[in-house]
Amino acid sequence: MRAKPSLDWLLVLVPVSVVLELSGGPDLAIFLTSAAAILPLAGLIGRSTEQLALHTGPRIGGLINATFGNVTELIIAVFLILEDKTEIVKASLTGSILGNLLLVLGVSFLTGGIRHKEQHYNAHAASVHSTSLVLAVTGLLMPALFALGSQGETVVQREILSGTVAAVLIGLYVAALAFTLVTHEHLFRTPDEDEAPAWSRRRAIVMLLIATGLVALESEFLVASLEPALADIGLSEFFVGLILIPIVGNAAEHSSAVLFALRNKVDVTLEIAIGSSTQIALFVAPALVFISLAVGHPMDFVFSTFEVAAVALSTVLVFMISSDGRSNWLEGAQLMGAYVIMAISFFFVEHL
């Protein structure tokens, strides 16, 4: 998948951001360069994962992809948690789900649909993902209702509830992996092109480690400069979490998904866009509940009504659009329209 060379030149921003940070440069400049530097690094993680997967065969490859797919989001989130910015973490998780389901899938369906009139994909896979998303909505809604309905709940209750819900979601994520990769793998097999790996196994692993390390470095810069930089440009933290961070974290996926749609391989597009969302909802977000406990900055699993409603609506929309195993440009435009409506609402919410 030599697909997005266009972003590689941004790698030059890695040293630039380091110099800025060391020389005590302006926060806004650090914020922007580190955000932009993450784009090609996330792409590099994606490419090394794919190369590694070509060496390991489809099953282990699927597992590696699933595990490293959202590692950028995970790293940024951990740094945010260490700064006790749990509300931004939740916003960025929600925004990542929405961005993948509506924006990435929408642009892919729209551009792919303009070129190919009608595109077809495995409705089975779409259906497993949709059901996983409804479970995620259940896991988001019940604790939110619990928190809304009760002023008197104790912190311990909130933590136990959050931990249990998170454990169930992770269990269901593992179950869905076992289903798609092991017990019912035949339903999800896509015509394979038997691509030869372009990188050696060693090179893939080394690149993966380097890119992940650099993402961690840039994420630290990004998070540290976030607050002062936002004060400069007048955007609220909530909006940045919901819209900007997810776009940075998912830019690589975004361009891959669109390219595959243009090449009429919508199955891969779906796996990237919806698969990434279910992974964040059922694995990354719940894992952060436990990670946050381990690092001593506990984050509960109670999201705002706004966030729950947005994820629920997106889930319904994706289910309706994808359940027939076909896509076209109108469906892409509709997904993008929903994203715009949500983004503009979020924009004002957080100016309050």
Q: Does 142 bind its own copies (CB under 8 A)?
A: yes
DSSP code string of 285-324: HHHHHHHHHHTT----S---HHHHHHHHHHHHHHHHHHTT
Of these, 39, 135, 229, 280, which contacts its own copies (CB under 8 A)? 135
Of these, 12, 134, 198, 231, which contacts its own copies (CB under 8 A)? 134
C-beta of 286: minimal distance to its own copies in Å? 11
CA 160/CA 89 separation, integer angstroms: 20
Number of residues that bind its own copies (CB under 8 A): 67
**Nearest alpha carbon to residue 284 among 47, 33, 60, 80:** 80
C-beta of 265: minimal distance to its own copies in Å? 21
CA 44/CA 52 separation, integer angstroms: 12
Restricting to residues 259-318, name those near its own copies by CB under 8 A.
Answer: 304-306, 309-310, 313, 316-317
Nearer to its own copies, 221 or 238 (CB): 238
**Nearest alpha carbon to residue 134 among 281, 343, 7:** 281
**Nearest alpha carbon to residue 100 among 236, 218, 259, 255:** 255
C-beta of 250: minimal distance to its own copies in Å? 21
Nearer to its own copies, 103 or 217 (CB): 103
Q: Does 348 bind its own copies (CB under 8 A)?
A: yes
Restricting to residues 4-43, name those near its own copies by CB under 8 A.
Answer: none
Q: Does 188 bind its own copies (CB under 8 A)?
A: no
Across 5-14, b (16+ Cβ under 10 Å) vs e yields eebeebbebb
CA 24/CA 3 separation, integer angstroms: 36
Of these, 12, 19, 198, 330, which contacts its own copies (CB under 8 A)? 330
Handedness of CA 145, 176, 285, 269 (dihedral sign): negative
Give the interface segment with its own copies, choosing from 55-63, 93-101, 176-184, 210-218 (CB under 8 A). Answer: 176-184
CB 101 within 8 A of CB 274: yes
Give the interface segment with its own copies, choosing from 38-46, 72-80, 153-161, 265-273 (CB under 8 A). Answer: 153-161
Nearer to its own copies, 71 or 169 (CB): 169
Q: Does 115 bind its own copies (CB under 8 A)?
A: no
Q: Does 179 bind its own copies (CB under 8 A)?
A: yes
CA 243/CA 343 separation, integer angstroms: 7
Q: Does 164 bind its own copies (CB under 8 A)?
A: yes
